[in-house]
Amino acid sequence: MKQRLPPWIRIRLKSEGKLSFVQSALKECNLNTVCESAHCPNKQECFHRGTATLLILGNVCSRKCLFCAVQSGVPEPVDGDEPRRVAEFVTKIKLRHAVITSVTRDDLTDGGASLFAETISKIKCAMENLTTIEVLTPDFNGSESALDEVLESAPDVFNHNLETVVRLQKDVRPQANYYRSLAVLKYAAVSGMAKIVKSGLMVGMGENDKEIYEAMRDLIKAGCRHLTIGQYLAPSKRHWPVQRFVPPKMFDEYRNRGLAMGFIEVAAGALVRSSYLADSFFKNAFPNQAKNNEN
């Protein structure tokens, strides 16, 4: 769907750099990306920079969130070779910060946690622990055993998106739950097994700024200290409609408020997404480790 975008939203289109190299490596390794499946506006920029956010557990989601472009329906059987191919891709393009996400798999007993853990293990082995790893997970229906399996594999960043304010959750994420998402983040934070616990919010879905600040405070209480805030853009006419385009100065205000609340880092902007410039986000938090990985 072509949306009439305000002048401050300009999607960067690039064709040079590492774009074709990344596309070729993805094809060779037969992998999905959230960049493509979710129609991310930053896809070309990220591919150009030599990075991509990998989508495991197939590309069909068992849930049907009204904001998401990822196909929903009956998921395919789990591909046990996928972790090896992810590690192969990371090695091919020499990723120093790998972001792994997945569709939600309510059809699986562990929600796909074991495949997350195996993927993390394969990357660490292939890259000899020189690649930092960020996982953006579903809620696993709140299963602590599933969360333990992912966390015990020691990702550097554990990310789970709250997505929107409490009032809109049932409409926008009918099979998810605001408080369950907060509980997932709190469990990860209390475990201490990830260096960073991170979440993301979208704005422009019908919330007001007071509700955004309330959600931010809830995230702080849950132990989340890293946050991304971006403008919601409807993938099609069938999806939840955009209610407002938030101006740049308001994103600056979100960031300033967030830092004052106690967040260590807040990335806020119209085109900010959970995994957008995730490597830079990590470098800001752990500059020494990022520098060592690059050497």
Q: How many CA atoms lie within 13 A of 58 on its CB side?
A: 19
∠ Cα 93 97 99 (to 5°): 95
Tens-place pLDDT, residues 1-40: 456 788 888 766 655 567 788 888 999 999 998 777 656 6
- In the numeric block, the tokens 């994103």 are attached to 251
Q: Is the pLDDT of residue 102 over 80?
A: yes
Residue 4's pLDDT is: 78
List, for residues 60-89, the tens digit of each pLDDT value.
999 999 998 888 999 999 999 999 999 999
**Are the CB atoms for 283 and 157 separated by under 8 Å?**
no
Which among 153, 29, 24 is positioned nearest to 84, based on CA atoms? 29
Which pair of tokens denotes residue 205?
């879905």
Rounded to the nearest integer, the mean pLDDT of the chain is 89
DSSP letter string over 173-238?
Answer: STTS-HHHHHHHHHHHHHHT-SSEEEEEEEESSS--HHHHHHHHHHHHHTT--EEEEEE---SSTT
CA distances from 260 to 220, 225, 253 (A): 11, 12, 10
Please give the CATH architecture assigned to the domain spanning 19-294. Alpha-Beta Barrel (3.20)
Radius of gyration of the chain (CA): 18
Q: Which residue has the higher pLDDT, 33 or 102?
A: 102
CA dist 197 and 51 (Å) reads 21
Quick one: residue 95, left, alpha or beta (phi over 0 = left, psi -120 to 50 = alpha)? beta
What are 252-292's pLDDT values in tens digits? 999 999 999 999 999 999 988 887 666 776 766 666 555 55
User: How is the chain split into domains, by residue range?
Assistant: 19-294
